[in-house]
Chains A and B, each alone.
Chain A
């Protein structure tokens, strides 16, 4: 069965601290996609990254970085030097690569960055 677990429900950090959001997934598929989305209070989903299961390279984009470890089925997201604007709910998601129909979202991690 497909499942995404985000064990951290809420995290609070002080501005400029680094923070890592954990994501652990379960799937029987050999080919799949992993995603991170940001949902600010206004509600829209902001796409952050899509990672194919064959690409285990870590990725860095500005203050954001992602660590994909197939051996532990984890796809963790780190924000470096956090800012108040990073405050949001962050969702990790999994979809099968072939049809990409079903998105399995984690329960989300609510991040609050305190000024």
Chain B
């Protein structure tokens, strides 16, 4: 089946650091990738949708300058949390889709902890 790899799985860093998270589709070309955030004991909330080669579409309330998304190839999207602060600590999950009518496949998530 379709595999989506997310790296790193866990990050602990100091406040003010920028953190990059990678999301790769390993065995299919992902025309669209999605980034979700999940706070403890809460549901997954869509942050942004990115299509290969174009700018990401951010959901209301998500700061595009804080959460930089790049989808430069059909197999890789990156999320950079710039100048991270403790309130950015969360579980970030990406998903990828091969085509308009294809299901989304989720990565294993990245647990980000900002000290």
Contact = CB atoms under 8 A, between A and B. Distances in A.
A102 to B, nearest CB: 7
A102 B45 CA distance: 10
The majority secondary structure among interface residues of chain A is loop
A99 B97 CA distance: 11
A37 to B, nearest CB: 8
A66 interface: no
B103 A50 contact: yes
Interface of B: 32, 34, 36, 41-46, 49, 91, 93, 95, 97, 100-109, 111
Contacts of A101: 32, 34, 49
A16 to B, nearest CB: 27
A55 interface: no
Interface of A: 33, 37, 42-45, 47, 50, 91, 95, 97-103, 105-108, 110
Contacts of B103: 33, 47, 50, 100
Nearest to B59: A102
The majority secondary structure among interface residues of chain B is strand
B108 A44 contact: yes
Nearest to A89: B41
Nearest to B110: A43
A110 to B, nearest CB: 8
B43 A100 contact: no
B44 A44 contact: no
A33 B108 CA distance: 22
Nearest to A50: B103
Nearest to A110: B41
